[in-house]
Structure formats: structure tokens, C-alpha cells
Amino acid sequence: MESVEHRIVELNGIKMHVAEKGEGPVVLMLHGFPELWYSWRHQILDLSSKGYRAVAPDLRGYGDTEAPESVTSYTCFHLVGDIIALIDSLGVDKVYLVGHDWGAILGWYVCLFRPERVKAYICLSVPFRPFLGRDPKEPGKMEAELAEVGAAYFLRNVITTRKLGPPIFPKGEYGTGFNPDTPDILPSWLSEQDLDYYVTKFNKTGFTGALNYYRNLQLNWELTSTWSNVAEVNVPVKFITGDFDLVYTSPGMKEYIHDGGFKKDVPGLVDVVVQKGIAHFNNQEAAQDVLASEQRFIFVTVLWSMWQSRNNKLWRNQTETTFAVYDRACTVLTEWQSAQSEQTKSINRQLQPAELKWTKPSLGRYKCNIDASFSSDLDKVGIGTCIRDDQGRFVLAKTEWFSPTCDVEMGEAQGLLHAFR
């Protein structure tokens, strides 16, 4: 990971370690417990290669970010303050936000309290349940139990677990912890080198800062009680989880997610994806699937925000809600993917000339053709747009190049954005 830039940013009273790579729209990724910025290693490299500025901090109390001693320095307001200050330091007004586990909970708080700083939210594993409270664990007790088994065992035990929910720390001696079947050989998606990175960092810092998040759940519930009956998240949201996830399989969670409760609390919810055979750490276990979902969702928000602002108001003098636009965008995207699938199935079928028809646009409408060409030699993608009127007469054409080379789906999305502009 030598190509990733690391820096320390002073913000909100602490020094925060930030890993980042790339230029373009900011995708800010928040890790969970017991993780670090390193959990987003796959996403950082991939997103940065496709025109995004991928940013992943060590959260307060983790890794190379400072860990305040006071337990009450880890409330939801401290954590949200860190993220808003980080966004300010990046020099942008809004970000695409991605969160997993505790990072997902923090993401919900950011969307709830500072929605104007979030373009769209991609949430992994933990749905919108920010007002749950529980008794805090006595400071030092859990740390002593973990010290008996060591960071290496604990991290291997937790990160590889496929135990179904609920995610509860065991009482008394840690014993076999979450996972009674801790593997001797790591799964393919987690190398010994990956695990060693986590172990080295947690051996240095300990787990107190990370555990203080849990110790503030009751206090968070008290501090946010004013919002408990009126809280709604109205930014566009995509939720991704695995069917082996310990949160998803906790009592009542599937019903909440699929039977209307989740959508009621999150009117901006666009899509729910349940990954087959995937457990809690889906940002690592199913990194490519998560990446594909992130990229598609980001493109949908960009393209259809452009469509909303430049077309509906201009041509129809109508202003739609953001969520109606996103919902329609995702429907179109799904239909496009289905059409692509059908096209692939029939790729070998030879069309007869009689089957090929072109119909002129109806009276007063224009036809816009968009195409992309890919040059691996030049590491560029060429975008071409041609517009004709209802008589088939030429109106306008334009070409444009951008770098670096990307996949076809991204090239077509860029072409669509180019045409809208």
C-alpha cells in the first residue's frame, strides 16, 4: 500500500491519521470495530483509479489517531464533530459517505445531524438504529479479559466469525469469544499479512479507545433523546449486508429492514442488497461486490442529480423531490442491467436486416446518440455525442477525452453525464 498517502490532521481537539489516494469527488469511508483505515484497502485503490479521491481515517481512539483518556470523549457528538472537521479539512462541501459496523452507526449520525454535508450514504451491515442504549461495560474489565487471550487471537476470532447474531461481548472470561471455530488457516480474503497489520496496531494502542464507543451507547441515547421520535434520514441511502451477518441475523432485524420500518425511518432509502454467503466484514470478504455497488450508486446519484437540475426544471418547469429522482434512477439502472444481461444471452444470434429498424423521434423531440471508445495504448476513453431532430437532421455533435481507461459501464455513465451537460 505504498502508493497510499498518509498524513496527520489536527481537528476537533485531536490528531487524526488519514489515508487517501486519488483526485476527484471525495468518497469518505468509516471503519468499524475492531478495524482501521486498512479495512478499506481494496476500495481505496479501486476508487482512486476511477476518478475519485478515496479517503479513510483511523477513527478517534484507533490506530494512529489520538485516543483521549476520558470515556465521555467518545460520544456520538464528538465522533460527528471529527468527521465534519475532516470534511472541512478536505476542502469540499459534500462527500459520498461509506460506513461499516461502528463506522455505519457514525455515518447515520452524520446523515441525521449534518445531512447538508453528504451527497449520498452507502451503509454496510448496520441499519438505522442510532438511539439504542445499553449498560456500559466497566472500564478496564474487558481490556483485562482481552489481554489474557492476546490481540492476535481476538482479532482472528472476531474478523473471521460466521456466528449468527446478536453481536454481544461474552461475559466473564473471554474464552472462545465470538467464534468457537476460530480457523487455523485464514480465509482467502484475509491474509496473514493483513491480520498482522491489525495486530501490530492494536498491540501498540490497546482496545480501550475502541471499547469506549460501546461505553457511550447509554449516554448517546440520553443525549439524543430529543430526536428519538422525530428522527428521519433524508439523504439518498443504499444498504448492503450479508445473509450471514451477525447484525442482519439478530432478532427482529430482518423484519425491520424488509417490512417497512427501515424505509419509514430512512425515507431516502433507495436500495437494500443482501449478499449471499457473506458475513459481517463484507467490506473485506466481498470487496469487489461492495465496490461495484458503491460505484453504481455513486454514478446514479451524479447522473440523475444532473438530470433533475438541468432537464426537469428547464423543459417541464417541474421540481421533483430528490428521492423521487433517485428512485427512478435506480429503476432505470436495474432495467438497463437486465437489458444488458438479455443482450449477452443472445449475443450469438444473427439478426436479419429486416429486424433492424430505426424510428424517427416523435414531433418536436430530439434523438441523442452516445458512444464511447476505449484506447488502452493512450489510457484514454473517447466520448461521442450526436443529436438529431425529429426529421433525422443533424443538430449538434461533440467529442471529448478523459483518463484513465475504465470499464464499459463507467464509460457509458460518463457518456451520459457528458450528454446531459
> Under a CB-based contact definition with an 8 Å cutoff, are residues 325 and 309 in contact?
no
Contacts of 323 (CB under 8 A, 6+ apart): 234, 236, 267, 268, 270
CA distances from 21 to 58, 66, 120, 266, 296 (A): 15, 22, 20, 31, 20
- CA–CA separation, 242 and 276 (whole Å): 6
- Are the beta carbons of 199 and 152 closer than 8 angstroms? yes
Active-site residue (options: 214, 256, 289, 418): 214
Q: Is 351 helix (H, G, I), strand (E, B) or coil?
A: coil
Q: Is 214 a catalytic residue?
A: yes
Per the listing, cell 428521519 goes with: 232
Residue 287's region, left for phi above 0, alpha for psi from -120 to 50, else beta, is alpha
Do 99 and 106 contact (CB within 8 A), yes or no? Answer: yes
Return the percent helix, strand and coil in the chain, to nearest 5. Answer: 45, 20, 40
Active-site residue among 96, 280, 326, 327? 280
* 366 catalytic per annotation: no
Q: Describe the strand order of the beta sheet including 367-375 as a list of residue ranges.
A: 367-375, 380-388, 394-402
Told to judge if 248 belongs to the known catalytic residues of this protein, a careful annotator would answer no
- Give the three-class secondary structure for 306: helix
* CB contact at 8 A, 384 and 399: yes
CA-to-CA dists, residue 35 to 63, 66, 198, 373, angstroms: 9, 15, 7, 41
Q: Which of 64, 82, 101, 327 is catalytic?
A: 101
Measured CA to CA, the distance from residue 98 to residue 100 in angstroms comes to: 7
Beta strands in 208-361 (DSSP E): 237-242, 269-275
Which positions are catalytic? 101, 214, 280
